[in-house]
Amino acid sequence: MKARDVMTAPVITVKATAGIKDVARVFLERGISAVPVVDDRDQLVGIVSEGDFLHRAEIGTQRQRPWWLALMAGDQGLAADYIKAHAKCVADIMTRTVITAAPETPLHEIAAMLEQHGIKRVPIVHDGHLVGIVSRANLVQAIASSGSKLDIPASDTAIRERLLTHLNSQGWAPRILLNATVNDGVVDLWGITDSNTERKAIRVAAEAMPGVRAVNDHITVRRV
């Protein structure tokens, strides 16, 4: 299996000029823990996660270093702590060096990246543009829905692309929080919706796709 077979797309993104509070609201409203940062050409320039919000002055959690650690950190380290605690703009706290992969990257390489770099997600980039994201959760989804074959045939890839494209065109579908894996014509649906009606409509759409033999619905209905 490859990144294109499990990645979540489209991806929620923010601009580098976005405010810290605005991004925090996006995390809460969308049920996510990180978001890629893109420029005006939708090219990836960074990523910001919940971890970047841990030490904030407005909630009294800014880093408090013992005097001896403060000496070891030096002025540069203390200045960096100050930025993390007081910055108002995403550009000032985001990670600029982002580990990325291509859509054709095998999942075992994605898993190695996550482990080696101690990260929870890998943005998927094609021709410089962000096309998806693979998280640890996506790998778990792939394990749960995997069949006996490691290689996903082109027919399954086509089913997945047709389904996600169709759902992306529907105004009622929760496009950002929806994902699907397809193995031997069996579709596994993942994500979060706002109602059982939306959940049922997504299942109906999957069942109507040519080439689909069965649908497994793992979608969760958001509790308001």
SS3 177: coil
Q: Which two tokens stand for residue 173?
A: 């579908």
**Cα–Cα distance between 70 and 64 in angstroms, integer?**
9
For residue 104, the model assigns a pLDDT of 93
CA gap 48, 74 in Å, rounded: 25
**What is the per-residue pLDDT for 22?**
95
pLDDT in tens, 157-210: 899 999 999 998 888 887 667 889 998 899 999 988 888 999 999 999 999 999
Quick check: is 154 in a domain?
Answer: yes
Interatomic CA distance for residues 91 and 27, integer angstroms: 17
> Given this model, what pLDDT does residue 59 score?
83
Strands 220-221 and 186-193: parallel
Residue 148 to residue 130: CA distance in whole angstroms: 31
166 assigned to some structural domain: yes
The overall average pLDDT reported for the chain is 87
What's residue 92's pLDDT? 94
Give the domain extent around 161.
146-224
CATH number at residue 159: 3.30.1340.30
Least confident of 31-45, 74-88, 184-198: 74-88
In the prediction, which pLDDT does 224 show?
59
Q: How many CA atoms lie within 13 A of 67 on its CB side?
A: 0
Residues 101-138: tens digit of each pLDDT: 999 999 999 999 999 999 999 999 998 889 999 999 99
> CB of 42 within 8 A of CB of 65?
no
Paired strand residues for 134: 122
140 in a domain, yes or no?
A: no
Please give the C-alpha separations between residue 6 and each of 87, 132, 133, 137, 145, in angstroms, as whole numbers.
Answer: 35, 9, 9, 10, 10
The first and second tokens of residue 202, run together, are 């997504």
The number of folded domains in the chain is 1
- For residue 73, what pLDDT is reported? 62
Residue 194 domain flag: yes
Q: For residue 63, name the pLDDT band (cuts at 50, 70, 90).
A: confident
Domain assignment present for residue 66? The answer is: no
SS3 call for 114: helix
Residue 137 lies in a domain: no
